Structure 1
């Protein structure tokens, strides 16, 4: 079985265990979920109905962003020709 390049859903199931009682609860929430090699994005709406997103970036995505901003390692990517 191959790993998909993208995982996408229009709702998520959240499972939490209450710290006091130890009981586990599951809820289906209307949150869009998008995951790829760069990380994942959760999208939904605020109480007022405005769009809202939270992004969790992977380490490789953060390294690429830092490199583009000039904050990456000071090492050339290509080998110098002799």
Structure 2
């Protein structure tokens, strides 16, 4: 019997992007040295600027945004325990 592996994190040191040019319809694929990290909080990309300085961008999930809103007092105005 094959066991299913549950992932709670996906990581890679390189990413492959694929784009379709809107004018020609041609597909282009590039491998980039960008660190990729995905969890239930969202996706984070880590790389460098043209000057070689570290740079990162985060795409947060709805669950992560809800947690942030709750922590900063912008969440629902109701008690957690009744």
On whether the aligned pair clears a TM of 0.5, the verdict is yes
Q: How much has 1:75 moved relative to structure 2?
A: 1.0
Q: How much has 1:26 moved relative to structure 2?
A: 0.6
Question: Which structure 2 residue ranges, 5 or more long, are not aligned?
Answer: none
Give 1:18's match in structure 2, choosing from 17, 21, 29. Answer: 21
Counterpart CA distance in 2 for 1:8 and 1:34 is: 5
Counterpart CA distance in 2 for 1:37 and 1:18 is: 31
Question: Which structure 1 residue ranges, 5 or more long, are not aligned?
Answer: none
- Paired residue secondary structure (2:18): strand
- Number of residue pairs matched by the alignment: 79
1:53 aligns with 2:56: yes
Counterpart CA distance in 2 for 1:3 and 1:23 is: 36
Give 1:36's match in structure 2, choosing from 34, 39, 42. Answer: 39
Structure 1 segments, 4+ long, off by >4 Å, are: none
Partner residue of 2:8? 5
TM-score, length basis structure 2: 0.92
Counterpart CA distance in 2 for 1:66 and 1:30 is: 33
Q: How much has 1:47 moved relative to structure 2?
A: 0.3
Give 1:63's match in structure 2, choosing from 31, 49, 66. Answer: 66
